[in-house]
Structure 1
Amino acid sequence: MALDGDVSTLGHRIRHYRTARSLTLSDLGEQVGISPSQLSLLENGRREPRVSLLGRIAESLGVTTADLLRPEAPDPRSALEIEVSRIQAGQLYGSLGLPQIKPTAGTPSETLEAIVGLHRELERRGRLAIATPEEARRANTEIRLRMRAEDNYIPAIEEVAEDFVRRSGHVRGALSHRSVQVMAEELGFSLVYVNDLPHSARSVTDLANGRIYLPPASIPGGHGLRSMALQAMAHRVLGHQRPGDYAEFLRQRLEINYFAACCLMPRTAAVAFLTEAKKEKNLSVADFRDAFGVTQESAALRLTNLATSHLDLTMHFLRITDDGAIQKAYENDGLPLPVDVTGAIEGQIVCRKWSARTAFDRDNGTTELYQYNDTPAGTFWCSTQTGTTADGAFSITTGVPFADAKWFRGRETTSRGASTCPDESCCRRAPASLAERWEDQSWPSARLHAHILSPLPTGTFPGIDDSEVYEFLDRHAASV
């Protein structure tokens, strides 16, 4: 009959009570009817006693069976020995390639304390680092593939967000800052705009004092503050716990972004707007953006959330830098996105002939570029808008297979690009005449993307400097 509880702790408790009564293994073994070697196995946690034997041991030691089965160690020294045993049985210790040690009566307690302390620090640092870049890319790829399989749609968050918006009193049009404030108050928070946010954080939530700290309300593009506030609230609404690994961190980030988009562009109102536009064959990301007072990128991504489930459309989305590198991408329409050997798309270079890149060559970047892109996987109609941040230029592209272009404004465009990528002769390999002339006569100095060499600050949350955040909270808590 198996016993509940930790066998190792049980063994230590038996030894504790035996030595307290100055009994040897032979003395106790004789009293309960087992050999000293069998009793030693019990005390070392390598064998589990039957209930009948445990009863005889308890009686001989003058204690109850319940005393032996208590979950806590009988004394501090035993607690250290139990912890060392647990550590050595774990994966982290095993990965270090260190020998196993067996504490004896002659092993100083200080030695055991040092082993336990060092291991706890290794565990702590492991939790802070959370993931290598390779692990992060793999986790991000898995999330992207799962979202593609689900048509970029999360019904559960749609329901929660729509109810949340409804309770704020918002009915139609762009979600106001006042409505966002009401939502925060319903959760027990106030929104506070400050000039000294930690450099590593977009917002900080003070759970103790019920405050969500955001950048100043006067910063350009105030619509972004609504999104940041909603993302901070989403952690509470969706019941998130502190992420245990990088995959969990990325999943939470996706969910809070999705929640914020659902609040800014609620499903019922958004689907009604898009359905009417489709009926009129006048779908436009720009119109969708302006109707709900959001950014081009937010509107484009939200359209991908709703297109397949509610409009019977498959789509793709791209955000790339001016050198053609993918920052974000989604597709469920068969567009052949470039990937590396692991399946990751981030940092991969898209074809020079796609509208996502040709849009950078226009003199007028204030309007959308419409273009048909012929690829080995078929022809796709695309709409691209360029923009600029402090980090440089970027483009936002949405598109559909040729057959669905009929539902979109701009379908009549005559602009066309023909791509044969990933065939390198398409746009990656220089023409033979130029290569022959310049290959041995050129020495360019590459622009270094310094961020790829700089590790993220390690902290409880990836990329967050804990010390900076805690000092910030302490500074502002004084004014509460």
Structure 2
Amino acid sequence: MAATALELSTLGHRIRHERLAHGFTLDDLGERVGVAGSQLSLIENGKREPKLSLLQAIAAATGVDVTDLLSPEPPNRRAALEIELERAQSGAVFRRLGIAPVRVTKSMSDETIESILGLHRELQRRERETIATPEEARRANTELRLRMREKGNYLADIERLAEKQLKAAGHTTGALTHRTVSIMAEQLGFELLYVNDLPHSARSVTDLENGRIYLPPASIPGGHGLRSMALQAMAHRLLGHQRPVDYADFLQQRLEINYYAACCLMPETASVAFLQQAKKDRNLAVEDFRDAFGVTHEAAGMRMTNLLTAHLGIRLHFLRVDGSGAISRVYENDDLPLPMDVTGAIEGQVVCRHFSARSAFEEQNRTTEHYQYTDTPAGTFWCSTQTGTTTDGEFSITVGVPFDDARWFRGRETASRASSTCPDESCCRRPPAEIAARWEGKAWPSARVHMQMFSPLPRGTFPGVEEAEVYAFLDRHAEG
């Protein structure tokens, strides 16, 4: 196998280092090993790969082993700088600029090379940060969603890991307590600390050096959220995550830690037993599943997407939709027709106004689930929708299945029925012809601009997290 350019460059530097250490010129060493000095120059500059017999002769002439010459480590700091610069100048990022590479000479100081390398490192850093353009990020998210669709949104390895950790912490049945979560952290060598000055850009911060996981104050509403945050932080260590190399890697890690937290809060064995009994009773309901494990409605709905297909053979869909009808979270493997852009992304698209995910906002009684059958070009679907409100406005959580599987769910007797022909724009986006004729050219609405349209994609190794703020936070608490 031919040596790589990097291997040849390192080899050349090691040969030059040994030659100069013995005070040989190129011609001096060439005479001892039987080749012209010009040939050795090509080898030392990484332009030519020497035969093994020549390497053996060079090793003998300089009093070293062949293995020393073939070591992948640069022989000294100067060689390391020159090799790094050569690699940077041969990379695609630099070559795209169309700038001639800097030629390193003997008279060039190490400090000069360091300065040039500093520019290259910054250039590469900016390239890594900007690689996840909004379009690329949407493509990465879409690819991840499709991969999970193929798996039925089920990750067996993480399911087994969660059950193992729960068993080790002594958890058997019922809702997972904060105490048990603390025990799980202790078994990994971490202490859970609740602080008031958590960096605004981070949900939690893990101090790997001192074995601490910092979380928001324990008094904030919603114990499920704090348990989930702690479990997600632990999951990074349990799953062996490294710093994400790109946006796709970041999304994959986020999915895996969320999945692990869900597995701990709603363990597979207990959850499947609960769902199987509910199916047997023809009484499957998100709200019952939610209440049995003390989690949010959204968490229970998402957990159903992990388990219903793999264990009960039920295909389904999940939607989180905001008050304007935009989809913020989605999963489907039942062929529900959903809007998507040219990249295949569904998030951010506006769902049909006839779907229960939107019609539920019109209900007077928001405390119970809203049930509805919807006829679509892909068939009839039954849906259960629960609405809620946050500081950001209204939202709805929907779990639905194809018509034939509605028989297993509470609410299947509903008489509420709607019809959707989306993506046909005449369904709910285009006004009826007579109304359009009446008002066309006579109306001028003022659009509500969503500021997120102008927000740049989060930057950094951990997108959206301000590392300076996080490190200052860790310094502050490490001293305390």
Give the TM bin, normalised by the shorter chain: over 0.9
Alignment partners' CA distance in 2, 1:243 and 1:272: 36
Inter-CA distance 273–115: structure 2 relative to 1 (3 Å threshold): same
Alpha carbons of structure 1 residues 62 and 273: separation in structure 2 relative to 1, 3 Å: closer
CA deviation map 1:418-470 (0-9, x unaligned): 00000000001012232223332222222222123223553331110001111
After TM superposition, give the deviation of residue 136 of structure 1 in Å: 1.3
1:150 matched residue in structure 2: 151
Give the aligned CA root-mean-square deviation in angstroms: 2.1
**SS of equivalent residue, structure 1 residue 286:** helix
Q: Provide, for residues 328-347 of structure 1, a one-character-per-residue CA deviation record: whole Å limited to 9, x for no partner.
A: 11111111111111111110
The Cα shift of 1:183 comes to: 1.2
| Within-5 A mapping of 1:33-48 | 33-48=34-49
Which ranges of structure 1 fall in alignment gaps of 5 or more residues?
none
Aligned residues of 1:129 and 1:459 also touching (Cα < 8 A): no
Separation (CA, whole Å) in 1 of partners of 2:154 and 2:382: 22
Query: Which moved further from structure 2: 26-35 or 351-360?
Result: 26-35
Q: In the alignment, is the contact (CA less than 8 A) between 2:354 and 2:418 conserved in 1?
A: yes
8 Å CA contact 2:17–2:75 kept in 1: the answer is yes
| 1:178-197 pair list within 5 angstroms | 178-197=179-198
The worse-fitting range, judged by mean Cα deviation, of 377-386 and 435-444 is: 435-444
Q: Residue 361 of structure 1 aligns to which amino acid in structure 2?
A: E
**Which stretch of the first structure deviates more once superposed, 64-73 or 352-361?**
64-73
Q: Match for 2:194: what amino acid?
A: Y
Measured in 1, the distance between the counterparts of 2:289 and 2:24 equals 83
- Alignment partner of 2:471: what SS? helix
SS in 2 for 1:386: strand
Q: Is the 8 A contact 2:382 2:401 kept in 1?
A: yes
Deviations 1:369-417 (A, max 9, x none): 1000000000000000101111110100001100111111110111111
3-state SS of 1:6 partner: helix
Residue 266 of structure 2 aligns to which amino acid in structure 1?
A: M
Letter in 1 for 2:11: L
Q: After superposition, give the CA deviation of every residue in 1:227-285 in whole Å (9 maximum; x if it has no partner).
A: 11111111122221221111111111111111111111111111111111111111100
AA paired with 2:447?
A
Match of 2:14 in 1: 13
Q: C-alpha displacement at 1:23, in angstroms? A: 4.4
C-alpha distance in 1 between matches for 2:74 and 2:269: 58
Shift in CA distance, 319/48, structure 1 to aligned 2, threshold 3 Å: same
Amino acid at match of 2:465: I
2:204 paired residue number: 203
Which whole-Å CA distance do the structure 1 matches of 2:233 and 2:241 have between them? Answer: 11
AA in 2 matched with 1:257:
N
Instruction: List runs of 5+ in structure 2 lacking aligned partners.
Output: none
1:52: how far off? 1.9
Give deviations 1:192-228, integer Å, cap 9, x for gaps: 1112111111111112222211111221222211111
Contact between 2:13 and 2:45, CA under 8 Å: does it hold in 1? yes
Paired amino acid for 1:25: L
Q: Which residue in 1 is equivalent to 2:438?
A: 437
- Judged with a 3 Å threshold, the aligned counterparts in structure 2 of structure 1 residues 191 and 413 are, in CA distance, closer, same or farther, namely same
Indicate the residue corresponding to 1:409 in structure 2: 410
Change over 3 Å in CA distance of 1:78–1:163 after alignment to 2: closer
Alignment of structure 1 residues 194-233 onto 2, 5 Å: 194-233=195-234
Work out whether residues 329 and 347 of structure 2, in 8 Å CA contact, stay in contact via their aligned partners in 1.
yes
**8 A contact 1:370–1:415 mirrored in 2:** yes
Identity, % of aligned pairs? 68
1:129 and 1:462 in contact (8 A); partners too: no
Matches for 1:275-424 after TM superposition, within 5 Å: 275-424=276-425
What SS does the corresponding residue of 2:441 show, helix, strand or coil? coil
SS in structure 2 at match of 1:243: coil
Partner of 2:247: 246
Pair 1:80–1:329, CA change in 2 (3 A) = same
Q: What is the TM-score normalised by the length of structure 2? A: 0.94
TM-score for both structures, normalised by structure 1:
0.94
- Alignment of 1:50 onto 2:28: no
In 2 relative to 1, CA 100–171 (structure 1 residues): closer, same or farther, beyond 3 Å?
Answer: same
Corresponding residue for 2:121?
120
Report the alpha carbon displacement of residue 92 of structure 1 after superposing the two structures with TM: 2.3
Change (3 A) 1:270 1:434: same
1:387–1:71 Cα change, 3 Å: same
Q: Distance in 2 between matches of 1:2 and 1:302?
A: 51
- Determine if contact 2:135/2:343 at 8 Å carries over to the other structure: no
Compared with structure 1, are the counterparts of its residues 211 and 58 closer, same or farther at alpha carbon in structure 2 (3 Å cutoff)? closer
